[in-house]
Structure 1
Amino acid sequence: MLTSKSFLTNLVSAIIFTISYLIPEFIGRNALMMASLFALSGAFTNWVAIYMLFEKIPGLYGSGIIALRFDQFKESIRSLIMENFFTKDNFIKVTQGALPHTIQPELIMDKIDFDKIFGGFISVIKSSTYGSVFKLFGGEKALEPLRKPFKIEFERQASEILVNIDIASVLQKETDFETFKTKISAMVETTLNELTPQRVKEIVEEMIRMHLGWLVVWGGVFGALIGFVSAVFF
């Protein structure tokens, strides 16, 4: 999806620029040429910025920020699980009525503040070396359409981690909440330690990359407008 949007936006801009550059002079030729050139510049710049979020490019400082912030993302996932799933209230509910069973993640998903988690993710991007690029092309408003798909994918990834944790076996042995939480925390930590920087990058990529294609499209649109205005009024 991202590749399709990005490729088409850059291709259309490049074709229009090439045609307007090669054809004979006519009224509006310069405006068309400038609009397409600026569109190509805006779309290509945004495509490179998105690519650099996920991939390390030798010689370009700050590229591959997702993998570089590997530990920070892991800590965010750990905090999400321990602070939202394994609370004292949930512990009481489980020990009272569901001792023989594992916790069903979907039953307590509605207690998670996904807006707070999404806000934290945006903060990571804003604090990176590419924060100024995203600010230039819409900033947080440009990323707002990602909120819902981010929630859906984060919920799925968190559920996968929880499914692998044998809560019932701990509950059968422990009735003290703090002891329970300590053991669960160790189990979560063990599971997260199995995540590699590559896997964390893939998780984040699955959440948002296909939707970031719109940044490339809008980069082309705004670039075309700027180019057109420049050609007409300057």
Structure 2
Amino acid sequence: MSKSLLTDLFSILFIGVAFVVPQAYHDALLFTGLFALSGAVTNQLAIHMLFEKVPFLYGSGVIEKNFDTFKLSIKEMMMKQFFTKEQLEAFFHKEEQKIDLVPLVENTDFSPAFDALSKTVMESKFGGAVSLFGGESALEGLREPFSNKLRSAVSAIVSSSVFKAQLEHHIQGSALSEDMLVSIDELITKRLEELSPAMVKALVQELIKEHLGWLVVWGGVFGGLIGLLSAVVF
């Protein structure tokens, strides 16, 4: 049973009891129950009006009515809280320390590089001379030694301190960060466009109603206290 319903039932109980107790307690219980019920129902109506349009009540259905503003607020919150340029730079600086390109180089197939070299040789003025000794097939024996030499050279390059410093510089460069910010912004915008007003309303409604039950409870409590005070004073 929800907190809102319990508050309503207790308020009605006070009203009912007021008619069976001695006259001395009648006004206090009646006013307490009436004011408590009034406070609880008013807050329930206010919560309901956040999500649903109520005829003749201006401002109702505010969540659905301000759907576009709501989406924009979500995007701005995400960009400002999670995807600032400073946060991206800090993230990539941290990740850069973990980057080791040597295993990637070791598993790379350098055959295309040798094929390009072989083609270049055959198309050069030395191609005729090589053709006398078997043409491209004569160069095939160089494929593995060439690949190993090139692999070793590239591994040395990517593991050097100079290369790592340049890599860090480019990762932290403003152009990269700005490009990523634009891409992230576009991605978030695209995903938010997939949301419909009904989906957003259901999402927020489930979240808010779960936590705003206490608003109804305190509306009933303070309403009841005001009613009791009114009965005592007046």
- TM-score normalised by structure 1 residue count: 0.61
Distance in 2 (alpha carbons) for counterparts of 1:71 and 1:48: 24
1:35 maps to what in 2? 32
Distance in 2 (alpha carbons) for counterparts of 1:24 and 1:191: 61
Q: CA deviation at 1:25?
A: 4.2
Q: Secondary structure at the match of 1:62?
A: coil
Does 1:55 pair with 2:52? yes
Q: Secondary structure at the match of 2:53?
A: coil
2:41 maps to what in 1? 44
Mapping of residues 1-234 of structure 1, within 5 Å? 4-21=2-19, 23=20, 25-98=22-95, 176-234=176-234
Q: CA deviation at 1:177?
A: 2.2
Structure 1 runs, 4 residues or longer, greater than 6 Å off: none
Identity of aligned residues (%): 47
CA change 1:224–1:176 in 2 (3 A) is same
CA change 1:228–1:84 in 2 (3 A) is closer
Distance in 1 (alpha carbons) for counterparts of 2:63 and 2:221: 27
1:156 maps to what in 2? none
Q: Secondary structure at the match of 1:28?
A: helix
Gaps of 5+ in 1: 102-170
Distance in 2 (alpha carbons) for counterparts of 1:213 and 1:204: 14
Bigger drift between 62-71 and 176-185 goes to 176-185
Gaps of 5+ in 2: 99-170
Q: Does the CA contact (< 8 Å) of 2:18 and 2:25 recur in 1? A: no
Q: CA deviation at 1:24?
A: 6.1
Q: Secondary structure at the match of 1:58?
A: coil
1:112 maps to what in 2? none
Distance in 1 (alpha carbons) for counterparts of 2:214 and 2:76: 31
2:131 maps to what in 1? none
Distance in 1 (alpha carbons) for counterparts of 2:92 and 2:34: 65
CA deviation string 1:170-205 (max 9, x = no partner): x9xx96222222222111110110111122223322
CA change 1:189–1:13 in 2 (3 A) is same
1:108 maps to what in 2? none
Q: Does the CA contact (< 8 Å) of 2:54 and 2:61 recur in 1? A: yes
